[in-house]
Amino acid sequence: MVKIAVIGGGASGMAAAIRAAQRPACTVTLLERQARVGRKLLATGNGRCNLTNTQAVPARYHGADPAFPAEVLAAWPSARVLELFASLGLRTVTEYGGRVYPASGHAASVLDVLRLALERPNVEIVTAAPVERIARRDGRFTVVWPGGALEADRVIVACGGCAGSKLGGVTDGYTLLERLGHSRTALRPALTSLRTAPEYPRALKGIRAEAGVKLLRGETVLAEAQGDVLFTETGVSGTAIFEISRAAAAGGEGLAVSLCFSPDDEAAVLADLRARRARWPSLAANGILTGAVQSRLGQMLCRSAGISGGTQCAALGDGELRALARAVRDFRLPVIGVSGFETAQVTAGGVRTAEFDPETLRSRLVPGLYACGEVLDVDGDCGGFNLQWAWASGLTAGELR
């Protein structure tokens, strides 16, 4: 009987355990630090779990060796991952940009089918077991946590990264692998919100808008994205911001984010503003964007263009409308930093992939040792790419080739 220990009961660890348990004559012990498995999974996709993306190609992934994920993604493309989930009972829907969600609209459905799949006689789940040490002697492993230990023939490290620390993101996986001789690259928060000069975001806290987003140094565009923007107490968040956050984290000082709230060019926005002035001559001037953008955002755009509520639309000159058209197309906020691991969705950096075989995820340094998921130096774009990596790499490691 081959004994397999999977350390970490998150997305990649559960996938690895399910796959490993399909092997004949083996037992799998899944060790989870927290009181229950899959806690972070429940929070993904704003509680809906964007579990994969139908366009998950290697170009959507980052790390010191950007080609590293290619073989795993070719063996477990999103279509095959979705077939597996369908066989476990999960119904899914595919939305804009290839983002896949459970049809129920609840992340819990994903966790439920994984937990059901793990209810097998040869799988044991041990929770509240923060593994502190993995030792290898005479070709076997000893895995130790406070109050327990087990012997194993193979070990899969699936401890995740340190992003989402409120949900249990920790550095344990890096430490465990480093003690076995592995090394890691620098760790940075990725897919995270930006901290900006507080004046505007604070007043707009809680407001969401669809926007084109650019990260700028002076007038040079460093990164751009289109999508959801959420104003927060400290700056801006949302999927479009997450997409430019990697460049912001690496970008140093002197950055600004530009938000564009209209798909039309500046001349068309100006023509629309003139029509609005004619339609509502006696309306308070800072209401001129009524119906075009959320009302508090409209007032804020007016304020940034120097338009107050003290006058009426009819009193607005063309110069003021031009300034407003510019603000609608290029609302700038100086960036003062990126948020940390607490709110980041993923860790950029991790255990060096050169130390693992890209086809099997077997350690090149320690026979019988495997790693999968975010603990490795692989991180994906926003849109289901990180969970796709977690499933695909977990399923690959679970094959124990």
Ligand X SMILES: Cc1cc2nc3c(=O)[nH]c(=O)nc-3n(C[C@H](O)[C@H](O)[C@H](O)COP(=O)(O)OP(=O)(O)OC[C@H]3O[C@@H](n4cnc5c(N)ncnc54)[C@H](O)[C@@H]3O)c2cc1C
Smallest distance, ligand X to C-beta of residue 101, A: 8
> Residue 34 interacts with ligand X (CB under 6 A)?
yes
Report the nearest approach of ligand X to the CB of residue 117 (Å).
15
Pair 314, 335: CB distance under 8 Å: no
Nearest Cα residue to 106 out of 46, 161, 173, 160:
46
Is 227 a binding residue for ligand X by CB under 6 A? The answer is: no
The answer to whether residue 109 forms part of the interface with ligand X (CB under 6 A) is no
Task: Note whether 110 binds ligand X by CB under 6 A.
Answer: no
Residue 295-334 contact track with ligand X, rule CB under 6 A, x = bound: ----------------------------------------
Strands (DSSP E) contained in 310-374 are 331-338, 346-348, 369-371
Pairwise CA distance, residues 94 & 387, whole Å? 15
Residues 338-377 that bind ligand X (CB under 6 A): 345-346, 373-374
Residues linked to residue 95 through DSSP beta bridges, in sequence order = 99
The answer to the question of residue 13 lying near ligand X (CB under 6 A) is yes
Q: How many residues belong to the site for ligand X (CB under 6 A)?
A: 41
Q: Of these, 273, 351, 387, 400, which contacts ligand X (CB under 6 A)? A: 387
User: DSSP readout, 241-283?
Assistant: HHHHHHHHHHS-SSEEEEEE--SS-HHHHHHHHHHHHHH-TTS
* Closer to ligand X by Cβ: residue 331 or 385: 385
Binding part of the chain for ligand X, among 216-224, 294-302, 326-334, 380-388 by CB under 6 A, reads: 380-388
Output the residue with the shortest Cβ distance to ligand X.
10
Q: Are 305 and 324 a contacting pair, CB within 8 Å?
A: yes
| Beta-sheet strand order (sheet of 52-53) | 52-53, 99-102, 92-95
Q: Which residues contact 8 (CB under 8 A, 6 or more apart)?
A: 31, 32, 33, 157, 158, 159, 160, 173, 373, 375
Token output for 379: 């991180």
| Unique residue bearing structure tokens 């000159």 | 317
Place of tokens 């996986």: 173
| Vertex 95 angle, CA 92 and 101, to 5° | 35
Q: Minimal distance in Å, beta carbon 150 to ligand X? A: 12
Near ligand X by CB under 6 A, which window of 86-94, 125-133, 177-185, 214-222? 125-133
Among 4, 5, 27, 33, binds ligand X (CB under 6 A): 33
Helix (H, G, I), strand (E, B) or coil at 97: helix
Q: How far is the CB of 44 from ligand X (least distance, A)?
A: 3
Could you tell me how many helices (H) and strands (E) the chain has, helices first? 12, 21
By CB under 6 A, tell whether 172 contacts ligand X.
yes
In the complex, least distance from residue 146 CB atom to ligand X, rounded to whole angstroms: 10
Q: Which of 84, 110, 159, 230 binds ligand X (CB under 6 A)?
A: 159
Interface positions with ligand X (CB under 6 A): 7-13, 31-34, 39-40, 43-45, 49-50, 129-131, 158-160, 163-164, 167-170, 172-173, 345-346, 373-374, 384-387, 390
